[in-house]
Amino acid sequence: MNRELLEKPFEPAQIRQRRGRNGVLDYIEGHNVVHRLNQALDGAWSFEITHHEVREDEVLVLGKLTAEGITKMNFGVSQVTREKGSGALISLGDDLKAAATDALKKCATFLGVGLHLYADKPLNGRGAAGRGSGAPPRPPDGPAGPGAAAPSPGSPDTNGHVAGHGEPSAVTGRATQRQLDTIVNIALAKGLKPAEIDATSLKKFSRKPAALSVKEASTLIQELSNIPRARR
């Protein structure tokens, strides 16, 4: 077991962000975690779901990660996706897969994978309040799969943090994914071409949007939202 490699911090480009209950959270996508486990353990690891539950609005699984005789277990969750309006289930299988990915990532955290993401973060807010000092570190609340996202206004998870984006990530201070999406969406709506988005950012900040800070991204969004549409 190559602990150094397991605990090696991920590259900034591999770190994604989303809003969680306690502010902006950094997370690593599942395939990067799998790749890291393969590298550090030479592929000699196994993962299984030992228990799963389907609740009204979420699915919960208990995952077990085993490598070189060491076992780590943790829970993973995912929201149940339903059709808007009818509320019919879309794919419970996909929801369970997303929860399984979440569980794998949380198990891997116990081996040190991605542990650096919250090394500098205080355990604050509601999430920390119920854990007590002796509890293990809580892995980041990143989406369990590529399709996962924050809940809608009508979902039971509405009490999660929803408003505002302005807080910088506690780790990086980089522009959030929401900001980057907004830059693209608003620029396209204003008639700019993708290359022009980069050009606008480079001209103002000497960096492409992905490399902007939260504050710089806000400035760019503010400017883009106020420009007239490009006439072609």
Partner 1 sequence: MTETVRRTIISFSQLDQYIRCPLKYRFMYVDRVDPEWIPAALIFGRGIDTAAAHYFRGAQAGAPPSLAEVQDVFASYWDLETSLREVKFWKGSKAELLDQGTRMLAVFHAGQDPATDIVDVQRRLTVPLIDQQTGEVLDRELVVVMDLLERDREGHLVVVDLKTAGRKYTELQVETSLQLTVYSYAAEMGGLADREDVRLRFDVLTKTKVPELHRYPTSRDRQANVRLFRLASEVLRGVEAGVFHPVVGWQCKECQFRDRCWAWA
- The binding site for partner 1 (CB under 8 A) comprises 19, 79, 81-84, 87, 90, 147-156, 158-166, 178-179, 181-182, 185-186, 188-191, 217-223, 225-226, 228-229
Whether 97 contacts 30, CB under 8 Å: no
State in angstroms the smallest separation of the CB of 161 from partner 1. Answer: 6
Closest to partner 1 by CB, 101 vs 109, is 101
Q: What is the dihedral of CA 83, 48, 13, 151, to 10 degrees?
A: 20
Closest to partner 1 by CB, 66 vs 219, is 219
State in angstroms the smallest separation of the CB of 51 from partner 1. Answer: 24
Closest to partner 1 by CB, 117 vs 212, is 212
Query: What span, in angstroms and rounded, lies between the C-alpha atoms of 100 and 116?
Result: 22
Phi and psi angles of residue 48, each rounded to the nearest 5 degrees, phi first: -140, 155
Closest to partner 1 by CB, 135 vs 149, is 149
Query: What span, in angstroms and rounded, lies between the C-alpha atoms of 108 and 222?
Result: 40
- Measure Cα distances from 94 to 82, 89, 231 in Å: 12, 11, 43
State in angstroms the smallest separation of the CB of 63 from partner 1. Answer: 22
Residue 36 three-state SS: helix
State in angstroms the smallest separation of the CB of 104 from partner 1. Answer: 20
